Structure 1
Amino acid sequence: MDFTGKSVIVTGAGKGIGRATAVMLASRGAKVIALSRSAADLAELDKEIGSTSHAVDLADPDATRAAALKAVPADYLVNCAGTTELESFLDVTVKNFDLLYAVNTRAPMIVAQEYARERIKAGARGAIVNVSSVASFLGIPDHAAYCASKGALDAMTRVMAKELAPQGIRVNAVNPTVTLTPMAVKAWSDPAKSAGMLSRIPVGRFADPDDVAEIILFLLSDEAAMINGIAMPVDGGFMAN
């Protein structure tokens, strides 16, 4: 897939799937506009791929909207930023619940609003990919707030797809299984916990960030012109169990 001459906003571009997506897009000709919390991560990415970056705390709605307005116009958007806190359901705090919704659900909404408004005003077509999780499909112990935030992201994706596609903007979600990012290592470092999940993945391994990035690029591309409103598992067959 060739993205020469195209510009792509990637949130969460400093680490993990977001970084892999940004690097892959740049390798295929795209100009990347990177949003992430860590200025140091963004500086390293800018040096590597020539991206334009904006450091922003996506838990802050006003700062998120300001960064989105700086990032547009762009041809495509990848909402990849995410966070998690591990708590049993009975121990979930309101503070952490609100944080996960702010970063995992509200921030994608805000950035997508500004991206889509600009596209529609310009009379230009586009595509959005929201990076969700298989956690939106099933319950995972100690992930109550995370599962809820990703389920909400999938639901919002479906509404976005219905409302924005008639105006030329396709919207889809990708739903990876455990992907070997710094956040996943935090959540799945205990072998006793990871073994149960790994045993349910028929291909026999967790995902790499590039596995997910390839699907993101496909869904952005014109090759996916008739794909709109889906939540696509990238899970090695996990959901087939």
Structure 2
Amino acid sequence: MQLSFSGMRALVTGAGKGIGRDTVKALQASGARVVAVSLTNADLVSLSKECPGVEPLCVDLGDWEATERALGGVGPVDLLVNNAAVALMQPFLEVTKEAFDRSFNVNLRSVFQVSQMVARGMIDRGVPGSIVNVSSMVADVPFPSLAAYSSTKGAMTMLTKAMAMELGPYKIRVNLVNPTVVLTAMGKKVSADPEFSRKLKERHPLRKFAEVEDTFLLAPVPTF
């Protein structure tokens, strides 16, 4: 199915690498104007060369005040993809305050903040919109050394349900995508241990990990 996002403006977080980067490319190829948000400026520079016309925005989404400054004047957005995340692997008994706070600030709190900003803009403009939250299979299936990361993704499930319920009356759709390990740089790091990788694959019906392009087949199609 050929999708067209012509005339729409999208915002993608975690746009510098992996799923986020390919999402930006796919949206732009489908006609959308895209705001690409990333922590790493070098990634945004290379993305801008690869996709001329992308609007790069460099900010640490784990910093509430910096995010407010960076996105406060971002302008109209029709589609938001909350993809930014960190996976700080530590056994439960070794999880530090710093790792816990960083995980929740980036993976969950930024979803609250960015979604609030975008949804308020949609409501003020009186237009429908779509928000897609990128989660993980570990929201439902526990694995060693991912206690903090899994907790953020589990919380995202309920957050998505709450957002969908409260934003639905404004014709703002909110959906969740829970892929298996996707072979991005972060995914390859998480699945580097052969035994751990084997256990992960055993929990997946296809007994294999996903490539980045597979996530587009899973993602809900925004309709307006």
Give 1:66 deviation, angstroms: 2.1
Contact 2:78 2:128 in 1 (8 A): yes
Q: 1:25 and 1:47 mapped to 2: Cα distance?
A: 16
Q: Which moved more, 1:201-210 or 1:148-157?
A: 201-210
User: Residue in 1 aligned with 2:182?
Assistant: 179
**Residue deviations 1:192-211 (CA, integer Å, cap 9, x gap):** 21012123322232011111
| Mapped pair 1:15 → 2:17 | yes
Deviation of residue 153 (structure 1)?
1.1
Q: Do the aligned residues in 2 keep the contact of 1:72 with 1:114 (CA within 8 Å)?
A: no
Deviation of 1:3 (Å): 0.9
Q: TM-score, normalised by structure 1?
A: 0.88
- 1:237 is matched with none
Q: Which deviates further from its counterpart, 188-197 or 94-103?
A: 188-197
Question: Paired residue for 1:77?
Answer: 80
Matches within 5 A, 1:1-241: 1-49=3-51, 50-216=53-219, 219-222=220-223
% same residue: 43
Q: Which residue of 2 aligns with 1:232?
A: none
Contact in 2 for aligned 1:9/1:71 (Cα 8 Å): no
Moved segments of 4+, more than 6 Å: none
Aligned letter for 1:89?
F
For the Cα contact (< 8 Å) 1:129–1:220, is it kept in 2?
no
Distance in 2 (alpha carbons) for counterparts of 1:204 and 1:139? 17
5+ residue gaps, structure 2, are none
Cα distance in structure 1, aligned partners of 2:172 and 2:148: 29
Return the offset for 1:213: 2.6
The superposition leaves residues 107-151 of structure 1 with CA deviations (integer Å, 9 ceiling, x where unpaired) of 011111110011100101100001011111121111000011111
Q: How large is the RMSD of aligned CA atoms in angstroms?
A: 1.2
- Displacement of 1:221: 2.0
Letter of the structure 1 residue corresponding to residue 40 of structure 2: S
- Range 198-207 or range 35-44, more displaced: 198-207
Alpha-carbon distance between aligned partners in 1 of 2:45 and 2:169, rounded to the nearest angstrom? 37
Structure 2 residue matching 1:71: 3-state secondary structure: coil
3-state secondary structure, aligned to 1:9? strand
- CA drift at 1:70: 3.3
Instruction: State the distance in 2 between where 1:122 and 1:204 align.
Output: 45
CA contact (8 A) 1:86 1:142 kept: yes
Contact map agreement 2:79 2:222 (CA 8 A) in 1: no
Quick one: distance in 2 between partners of 1:137 and 1:202? Answer: 15
CA contact (8 A) 1:20 1:213 kept: no
Distance 2:20 2:209 in 1: 17
Q: CA deviation at 1:168?
A: 1.3
TM-score, normalised to structure 2's length?
0.95
Distance 1:151 1:200 in 2: 17
Provide closer, same or farther for how the CA distance between residues 137 and 93 of structure 1 changes in structure 2, counting only shifts above 3 A.
Answer: same
